[in-house]
Amino acid sequence: MIMASSSSGTRNCVGCGRAIAWDANVCPYCGHDFRVQMAPQMAQPQISEGMKILFYILSFLIFIVGIIIGVIYYTKSDPESKHVGKMCIILAIVGVLVWVMCAIVIAGASLMAF
């Protein structure tokens, strides 16, 4: 909690609780940097719908690419990237299952022909 005293021009450090100068950028006792809190947060870039569709198609058709894209995007902090990453991983797994099922059906059909 930041406590300000207008008469003495001091405030309490949020890191150690000691009184420091009101205009101090860094606490001289614990080193807490107040400039970091004042920095504006960068807006997270959004993933376009076309890029999402491309990722999803690649994830289904080339499952290794889907796993890689999925892991990269799932480890990002914003919810949209996590959702895209999760969908890429799911589509890669579904693509593998479809490929395996097709291979089983084709192998079974070729065995039945003999």
Residue linked to tokens 């406590």:
3
pLDDT tens digits, 54-107? 999 999 999 999 999 999 999 998 899 999 999 999 999 999 999 999 999 999
pTM over 0.75: no
Q: In whole angstroms, how far apart are CA 114 and each of 59, 102, 107, 108?
A: 36, 19, 11, 10
- Sign of the torsion angle spanned by Cα atoms 81, 86, 89, 92: negative
- Which helix (H) or strand (E) segment is 19 a member of? strand 19-21
> Angle of helix 79-113 relative to helix 49-61, nearest 10 degrees?
30
